Structure 1
Amino acid sequence: MSHPLRAPNDAFGAFVPSAPVHATGAATGPLKGLGFAAKDLFDVAGLVTGCGNPDWAASHPPARAHAFAVQRLLDAGATLVGRTITDEISLGLLGRNQFHGTPINPRAPERLPGGSSSGSAAAVAGGLADLALGTDSGGSVRVPSSFCGLYGMRPTHGRISVAGLMTQSPSFDTVGVFARDAALLDTAYGLLLDDQAQAGKVETILVATDAFAIADAPVREALQPALAKLRALLPAEDITLSQEGLPRWAERQRRLQQAEFAVTFRDWIDAFNPRFSFEVGRGLALAALTAEMDLSAERAFRIAVRAEITDRLGGRALICLPTTPILPPLRGIPLSAMGEAGRRITELTGIAGLTGLPQISLPLGEAAGIPVGLSLIGWPGSDEVLLALAKTLAAA
């Protein structure tokens, strides 16, 4: 393992292939002596934020200041050791980037690391950084957390500033952190979260049986010991989360997110005619069509589901579900298989994305040595509650 304060020996292809990036943290602070990496969507002063696409990098000026999240970790004493690879302009859930390469999953090298924060997850799982910043719009922290065996959380939407971040879908985008242990994750989020925590006390775990039913058998089986540990700590109740089916929720989430990122990238595409991988170009073309649709029903549904789930949780319950329904796919799978994997993943990750609720992924399962994440979703502002429970489970 390389020392976190030196330029990393990038054995896992986690870092953007460019000149080394290094920014020394404050002389004192809770993260003093630790190294962190930042996904190549976060501004670093004096450098161009590349967003995983060479034409984006060529068409944008250097950043004038550090992104909010980067500055907060530097102020806490952590040192920035590098910028990490992202799926191209953050549009992906599996971790591939045809321009910069696909990072290796240190816990399952023959399998994909998950995206779009693939490099950040690989850097932490491979010991090249103690912490890493990622982003999560449709699952881009939670998926690589599960695939690489890490702690990671999508916070309540809006609780961490996205200043200095290349956002793609503003009503979905969140800042996330990866760590190998729950206590360090808690420390990092304590530095980043605003003061809008919502009080509550966990009394019940609601096990979403329809979410577990969507998952493949190896995923369900791998999570049974963790579920048993959770049931030993707190009363649990089996529930059906969606009467119409979680795939229908995911369809609505995808349409809304697509419409937003179509608008985000429309003018840039029109001005520069940039290069894209086939899957990203196809996704943008479909998104452009979605942006022209009447999505009033989807927006109304989103408001109603958030209210329904928030009321169901009531400041006292958490929803338990698999982070992803599948194991990390093998590297080199065909495009058709990639599309199917992404669709299935969003059937579970779309829940928190649609509702803006916080979700933490816990590395509590394994299937023949392959990491499997268990997730907990909380009420709005319950981020600190989720982090505290993660520490309790880690110590149990």
Structure 2
Amino acid sequence: MSIFVSEFELGGAGKRVAVKDTIDIAGYPTRCGSRALADSAPAARHAEVVQRVLDAGWKIVGKTNLHELAFGVTGINDWSGTPVNPQAPDRVPGGSSSGSAAAVGAGLAEIALGTDTGGSVRVPAACCGVAGLKPTYGRVSRVGVHPEHSSLDCVGPFARDMASLIEAMQVICPGFAPRELPGANARVVFLEVPADPHIQACLGAAADRAGWRRASLYLGEFEAAFAAGLTVINHENWAALGQLTGKGLLGADVEQRLLAAGRTTAAELADAQGVRASFSRAIDAALDDYEVLLLPTLASLPPLLSEARTGKSVAALTSLVRPFNLSGHPALSVPVELEHGGLKVGLQIVGRKGDDERVCAFGAQLEQALAAERPTNKKMA
């Protein structure tokens, strides 16, 4: 299924953990899903998050596949293989942390670690029907994670349920202390964003079942934040990876994306940093009035593999997630059934910086409320 680039067992007898192949594991090469790094030497030491997993007595079961160089959103990788989406084999698994999401969705690991620079945990989580968290920027160590320098990237966990995801955060994030579930009538706000009306209605109904009091809010800078996030990732990825271009070793999509990234100007970057500051303030202000912000993780269903392979634009896959990489706020994708027994889509929950615990508590309450509904639905069916 191309979920793993290498399978092995390392560690104790605890939870099974899959690790994205941008994260160093001592004795194994970190190839980032790219032929350009095929001859990489084995890592000399574990990334800090890997060491924490091992210290907890958990078992690493392998390194997972990804969109090449973690610079893509579909998860399609013609060199190292494209993981099968376990909930919708005809649709993309999402990227870049495709193998990590698929490993959890397929039951091959209880926990997986991925990285999220522009939605790369939340997008595949939503595509594959599992939970995935992008923590507050800087809260989880990136030591031993590629690329070495990023002002956007975060290591984050995947899990099938919120209890496991919270447990993973306790392991990889020192000081993470789980919170009690929110009280009744917690004040939340749905951001007004362009998305499929059926998905929006489904997620709104899920929030209602959780008992939250919801309002709506339009943020004028949301699209500008998406564009600014692209500018920053382009600037930083060209600096880190530009030297790999021009050698005939990269997939065509990544080669073209990197060459385009190399044309980012200093003026464009300065404008993007200005948007970053103002958008971050706007999110902070909204969170002064509400416990969390809500919005879909994806604006529509994941594209079919056949469509993505024939050139259909996939830019919209990150339209609702990338802005929070720019701002640095924690953002969680929680699976919600679109139709009873059918595809799951993602509800994105965004919280105050440093308050990842509150975000996870809201995710756990939503999961609990949806689980309580299922026996009734089955009886009525």
TM-score, normalized by length of structure 1? 0.86
Taking the aligned partners of 2:191 and 2:268, their CA distance within structure 1 comes to 31
Q: Label 1:160 to 1:332 Cα distance change in 2 as closer, same or farther (>3 A).
A: same
**Which of 368, 377, 380 lines up with 2:353 in the alignment?**
380
**Which of 247, 265, 288 lines up with 2:262 in the alignment?**
288
Q: Label 1:156 to 1:197 Cα distance change in 2 as closer, same or farther (>3 A).
A: farther
2:110 maps to 1:136: no
1:197 to partner: Cα distance: 8.2
1:346 to partner: Cα distance: 2.3
**Which of 137, 140, 151 lines up with 2:131 in the alignment?**
151
2:242 maps to 1:266: yes
1:316 to partner: Cα distance: 4.9
The aligned counterpart of 2:213 is 235
Q: Label 1:106 to 1:50 Cα distance change in 2 as closer, same or farther (>3 A).
A: same
1:120 to partner: Cα distance: 0.6
2:250 maps to 1:276: yes
Taking the aligned partners of 2:148 and 2:73, their CA distance within structure 1 comes to 14
2:325 maps to 1:353: yes
Q: Label 1:248 to 1:110 Cα distance change in 2 as closer, same or farther (>3 A).
A: same
**Which of 17, 34, 42 lines up with 1:36 in the alignment?**
17
The aligned counterpart of 1:205 is 188
Taking the aligned partners of 2:52 and 2:308, their CA distance within structure 1 comes to 40
1:297 to partner: Cα distance: 1.7
Q: Label 1:139 to 1:169 Cα distance change in 2 as closer, same or farther (>3 A).
A: farther
1:249 to partner: Cα distance: 2.3
CA contact (8 A) 1:66 1:164 kept: yes
How many percent of aligned residue pairs carry the same amino acid?
Answer: 35
AA paired with 2:42?
A: P
- Per-residue CA deviation, residues 20-70 of structure 1 (Å, 9 max, x unaligned), is 322122xxxxxx532111011111111110100022131x32111111111
Taking the aligned partners of 2:114 and 2:226, their CA distance within structure 1 comes to 22
The aligned counterpart of 2:4 is 15
Q: In structure 1, the residue corresponding to 2:283 is in which secondary structure?
A: helix
Taking the aligned partners of 1:38 and 1:317, their CA distance within structure 2 comes to 32
- Per-residue CA deviation, residues 363-391 of structure 1 (Å, 9 max, x unaligned), is 12325712200011001011011112222
CA contact (8 A) 2:245 2:258 kept: no
2:47 maps to 1:67: yes
Taking the aligned partners of 2:18 and 2:195, their CA distance within structure 1 comes to 31
CA contact (8 A) 2:103 2:109 kept: yes
1:176 to partner: Cα distance: 0.8
**Which of 338, 343, 348 lines up with 1:370 in the alignment?**
343
Taking the aligned partners of 2:20 and 2:316, their CA distance within structure 1 comes to 25
**Which of 194, 197, 200 lines up with 1:220 in the alignment?**
200
2:314 maps to 1:333: no
Taking the aligned partners of 2:309 and 2:8, their CA distance within structure 1 comes to 33
Q: In structure 2, the residue corresponding to 1:23 is in which secondary structure?
A: strand
1:71 to partner: Cα distance: 1.2
The aligned counterpart of 1:120 is 100
Q: Label 1:372 to 1:168 Cα distance change in 2 as closer, same or farther (>3 A).
A: farther
CA contact (8 A) 1:87 1:97 kept: yes
TM-score, normalized by length of structure 2? 0.90
> More deviation in 345-354 or 43-52?
345-354
CA contact (8 A) 1:159 1:196 kept: no
Taking the aligned partners of 1:103 and 1:184, their CA distance within structure 2 comes to 23
Q: In structure 1, the residue corresponding to 2:306 is in which secondary structure?
A: coil
**Which of 352, 361, 367 lines up with 1:394 in the alignment?**
367
> More deviation in 187-196 or 303-312?
187-196
Taking the aligned partners of 1:133 and 1:291, their CA distance within structure 2 comes to 33
CA contact (8 A) 1:56 1:274 kept: no
Taking the aligned partners of 1:289 and 1:256, their CA distance within structure 2 comes to 12
- Per-residue CA deviation, residues 143-180 of structure 1 (Å, 9 max, x unaligned), is 01111111110000000000111127600010011101
The aligned counterpart of 1:28 is none
CA contact (8 A) 1:137 1:169 kept: no
CA contact (8 A) 2:302 2:317 kept: no
Give the total of aligned pairs: 365
- Per-residue CA deviation, residues 116-135 of structure 1 (Å, 9 max, x unaligned), is 11001111100111111100
- Per-residue CA deviation, residues 83-134 of structure 1 (Å, 9 max, x unaligned), is 1101000011111111011100111111111111100111110011111110
**Which of 38, 41, 55 lines up with 2:36 in the alignment?**
55
1:198 to partner: Cα distance: 12
2:291 maps to 1:317: yes
Taking the aligned partners of 1:36 and 1:360, their CA distance within structure 2 comes to 19
AA paired with 2:232?
A: L
Q: Label 1:104 to 1:392 Cα distance change in 2 as closer, same or farther (>3 A).
A: same
> More deviation in 157-166 or 295-304?
295-304
Taking the aligned partners of 2:14 and 2:326, their CA distance within structure 1 comes to 38
Following superposition of structure 1 onto structure 2, how do residues 252-263 of structure 1 map, counting pairs within 5 Å?
252-263=228-239
Taking the aligned partners of 2:366 and 2:339, their CA distance within structure 1 comes to 19
Taking the aligned partners of 2:43 and 2:301, their CA distance within structure 1 comes to 37
Q: In structure 2, the residue corresponding to 1:290 is in which secondary structure?
A: coil
Q: In structure 2, the residue corresponding to 1:394 is in which secondary structure?
A: helix
